[in-house]
A = this chain, B = another copy of it.
């Protein structure tokens, strides 16, 4: 359901950052004219990814609707005021928190409320995850971004930190914490380490230094196979990205459903349904991991393949 079209895998790449707003709009519309016969509300539904935005999705919807009539369900990640879903912005971060809660519960480690968190990355995902961890009583003791990191033993005040950043000042200059070397962020002692930035950061160089009981992968591919092996050997449980950061596409799915119904859900309803999806999925993965003695990452793949296989077998092969 998810065709990112901001990047480019093969063919000529146009970097959207070098385009004027007007050029980007024109480019988007021409793309829709070319794609219009192979996307559609029941065919293939694009969503934003790197280099595209809610505005680009709005143009996509507008152009597509010229050809097929009013069709908000052709694309997700639209602006909230133009058929987007409430709760989508925070969805990946919020889903990460639900995932962590389930992990702690299942492993008998208790609740978020009595835990210490370290968050690598403070973009959309990291910032929302941090804020919601704190709302549920967790202590976010350290966060980093590309330019620095900040630490507070008693837990950072995330709302204040976000306000600080929104006002244009650097994360590392946040007064209610201590600036630290961002290179050390992964090795800060904590219960839960949340890599929420870029890929491959937990690798053969860094995995040994990690001082956490759980690694919850909010980023895409933060752990290399070598890093993964080391963590496993050291007994650190990893909640894999394929499951953990699925909150965004889940709420994209909810946005699609709302568009098909032409009826907007309240934010509470969105969050409650996201919780249900994250919780049930954790249950399936955990059960497989227990029954088959598999790491959670492998169990998640097993679950995914089971679902796809079962559907294929039922549909038949003719």
Chain A, interface residues (CB within 8 Å), range: 35 or more
| Chain A contact residues, majority secondary structure | helix
Q: Are B81 and A29 in contact (CB under 8 A)?
A: no
Docked-complex contact B29 and A42, CB < 8 angstroms: no
Question: Which chain B positions have C-beta within 8 A of A70?
Answer: 42-43
Residue contact A315 to B82, C-beta cutoff 8 Å: yes
Asked if B316 and A82 sit within 8 Å, CB to CB, the answer is: no
Q: Which chain B positions have C-beta within 8 A of A67?
A: 66-67
CB neighbours (8 Å) of A163 from chain B are: none
Please tell me if A173 contacts chain B, counting CB pairs below 8 Å: no
Taken together, the copies of this chain in the complex come to: 6
- CB of A233 within 8 Å of the partner chain: no
Residues of B within 8 A of A61 (CB): 315
In chain A, positions 123-146 with a C-beta closer than 8 Å to chain B are: none
Pick the residue among B26, B262, B276, B307 that contacts A318 (CB under 8 A).
B26
A residues near B (Cβ < 8 Å) are: 25-26, 29, 33, 37-38, 40, 42-43, 55, 58-59, 61-63, 66-67, 69-71, 79, 81-82, 256-257, 260-263, 266, 276, 307, 310-311, 314-316, 318
Residues of B within 8 A of A266 (CB): 276
Contacts of A263 in B (CB 8 A): 257, 261
Q: In the assembly, what is the distance between CA of A227 and CA of B40, in Å?
A: 52
The distance from the CB of A33 to the nearest CB of chain B, in whole angstroms, is 7
How distant is the Cα of A245 from the Cα of B25 in the complex, in angstroms? 39
Q: How far is the CB of A21 from chain B (nearest CB, A)?
A: 10
Contacts of A55 in B (CB 8 A): 314
> How far, in angstroms, from A29 to B71 measured CA to CA in the complex?
22
Q: Are B262 and A59 in contact (CB under 8 A)?
A: no
Known interface pairs A25-B316, A81-B310, A260-B261; 11 further A-B residue pairs with C-beta atoms within 8 A, sorted by A's residue number: A42-B69, A43-B69, A55-B314, A58-B316, A62-B316, A67-B67, A81-B307, A257-B261, A260-B262, A261-B261, A266-B276
